[in-house]
Amino acid sequence: MTCTAGPNWKGSSVENETAGVEGSVPFDIDAVAHPNIDRKLRYLPRVVASSVRMVRQAAPGLFVGTVVLQAAASAAVAAEILIIRSLLTQLLRDQTSGDFRSVVPSVVAMAIILAFVSVAGIARVEFQRLLSELVSRYCMRRVISTSAAVDLVAFDHPDFHDRLQRATVNATMRPFQMTSGLLALGGSLLGTASVGVVLLLVQPLFFVLILAAVIPLSLTSVRIGRALYEFEVEQTPISRQRYYLQALLVEKDPAKELRAYSLAGYLSGWFDLLYDARIRGLRKLIRYRLRAGIAAGLLTATITGGVLGLLIWFVADGRASLASAGSAAVALLLLGSQLQSLASGVGQLYESSLFVQDFNDFVALARPDKPVRGTEILPSRLETIAATDLSFCYPSRSGAALQHVDIEIAPGEVVALVGENGSGKTTLAKLLAGLYQPESGRITWGGVDMAAVDPDQLHDRIAILFQDFLRYYLSARHNITLGRSGRVDDLDGMVLAAHRAGADGFLLNLPNGYETSLSPQFFGGSDLSGGQWQRLALARAFFRDAQLVILDEPTASLDPRAEADLFATVRDLFAGRSVVLISHRFASVRLADRIYVLDAGQIIEHGTHKELIDAQGRYAELYALQASAFGLHPSTTRDSAGQ
3-state helix, strand, coil in the chain (%, to 5): 65, 10, 25
| pLDDT tens digits, one per residue of 563-608 | 777 777 777 778 888 999 888 777 778 888 899 999 988 999 999 9
| Residue 463 contacts residue 550 (beta carbons within 8 Å) | yes
Q: Is residue 485 part of a domain?
A: yes
By the 8 A CB rule, do 47 and 357 touch? yes
Residue-number span of the structural domain to which 265 is assigned: 29-366
**pLDDT > 90 in the chain, percent:** 14
CA-CA distances (angstroms) from residue 199 to 231, 324, 331, 428?
41, 10, 6, 75
β 548-552/462-465 pair status: parallel
pLDDT tens column, 413-430: 999 999 888 888 999 999
Out of 53-62, 219-228, 400-409, 599-608, pick the least confident: 219-228
| Interval 171-194: pLDDT, tens | 777 776 776 777 666 666 666 666
Map residue 150 onto helix, strand or coil. strand
Maximum C-alpha span of the chain: 128
**CA distance linking residue 434 with residue 453, whole number of Å:** 10
Lowest mean pLDDT among 213-217, 227-231, 551-555, 589-593: 213-217
SS3 at position 223: helix
Report the SS3 class of residue 384: coil
Weakest mean pLDDT among 42-46, 337-341, 371-375: 371-375
User: Is 19 strand, coil or helix?
Assistant: coil
- 478 and 346 both lie in a single domain: no
Are both 323 and 181 inside the same structural domain? Answer: yes
What CATH number does residue 67 fall under? 1.20.1560.10
In a domain, 307, yes or no: yes
548-552, strands of its sheet edge to edge? 462-465, 548-552, 578-582, 414-418, 594-599, 602-607
Would 580 be classed as within a structural domain?
Answer: no
Q: What is the mean pLDDT of residues 366-395?
A: 77
Residues 343 and 486 reside in one and the same domain: no
Taking residue 266's Cβ as centre, other Cβ atoms within 10 Å add up to 11
Phi, psi of 238 (to 5 degrees): -65, -40
Helix (H, G, I), strand (E, B) or coil at 445: strand
The mean pLDDT value of the chain amounts to: 78
Assigned domain for 552 exists = no
Q: Say how many residues make up the chain.
A: 643
CA distance 133 to 123: 16
Lay out the sheet containing 440-445: strands in order across: 402-409, 385-392, 440-445, 448-449
Closest CA to 415 of 640, 606, 134: 606
Dist CA 300 CA 335 (whole Å) = 13
In angstroms, rounded to a whole number, what is the distance separating the alpha carbons of residues 331 and 547?
77
What's the pLDDT at 61?
85
Q: Which of 545, 580, 611 is the last residue before a domain boundary?
A: 545
pLDDT in the model for residue 452 = 87
Neighbours of 381 (CB within 10 A): 8
Q: Which segment, 53-62, 201-210, 300-309, 427-436, is predicted with the most confidence on average?
A: 427-436
Is residue 557 over pLDDT 80?
no
Count of C-beta atoms within a 10 Å radius of residue 246: 15
Q: Is the CB of residue 300 less than 8 Å from the CB of residue 217?
A: yes
Between 103 and 362, the higher pLDDT residue: 362
Rounded to whole angstroms, how far apart are CA atoms 424 and 401? 6
Choosing from 366, 394, 426, the residue where a domain stops is 366
Do residue 479 and residue 347 come from a single domain?
no
Q: Please, which residues bridge with residue 603 across strands?
A: 598
Average pLDDT over residues 474-484: 92
Regarding predicted confidence, which is higher, 80 or 388?
388
pLDDT at 73 over 80: no
In a domain, 14, yes or no: no
Angle between helices 44-58 and 104-149 (to 10 degrees): 90
**Count: domains in the chain:** 2
Whether 175 and 302 share a structural domain? yes
pLDDT score, position 19: 36
Q: CA–CA separation, 373 vs 342, rounded Å?
A: 47
pLDDT at 31 over 80: no
Tell me what pLDDT residue 16 has. 36
Q: What is the pLDDT of residues 101-156, one digit of tens each?
A: 777 777 788 788 888 888 887 887 788 778 878 888 888 888 888 888 888 888 88
Torsion sign across C-alpha atoms 544, 545, 548, 550: positive
Q: What is the DSSP string of 496-522?
A: HHHHHTT-HHHHHTSTTGGG-BS-TTS
- How many Å apart are CA 354 and CA 50, to the nearest integer? 12
Q: Considering the domain boundaries, does residue 514 fall inside one? A: yes
Domain boundary among 526, 545, 564: 545
- Answer for the pair 50, 13: CB distance below 8 angstroms, yes or no: no
Q: What average pLDDT score do residues 49-75 get?
A: 80
Residue 102: left if φ>0, alpha if ψ -120 to 50, beta else—which one? alpha
pLDDT at 386: 92
Query: For 137-146, 216-225, 514-523, 620-629, which range has the lowest pLDDT when averaged over its residues?
Result: 216-225
DSSP characters over 244-292: HHHHHHHSHHHHHHHHHTT-HHHHHHHHHHHHHHHHHHHHHHHHHHHHH
Q: E strands, 378-502, where?
A: 385-392, 402-409, 414-418, 440-445, 448-449, 462-465
Q: Pick the closest to residue 411 from 436, 438, 378, 376 (CA basis).
A: 378
Same-domain check for residues 55 and 174: yes
Does the residue 521 lie in any domain? yes
Report if residue 553 sits inside a domain. Answer: no
pLDDT score of 5: 42
The domain that contains 527 carries what CATH number? 3.40.50.300
Residue 556's CB is within 10 A of a number of other CB atoms, namely: 16
What does DSSP assign to residue 586? G
**490 and 348 part of one domain:** no
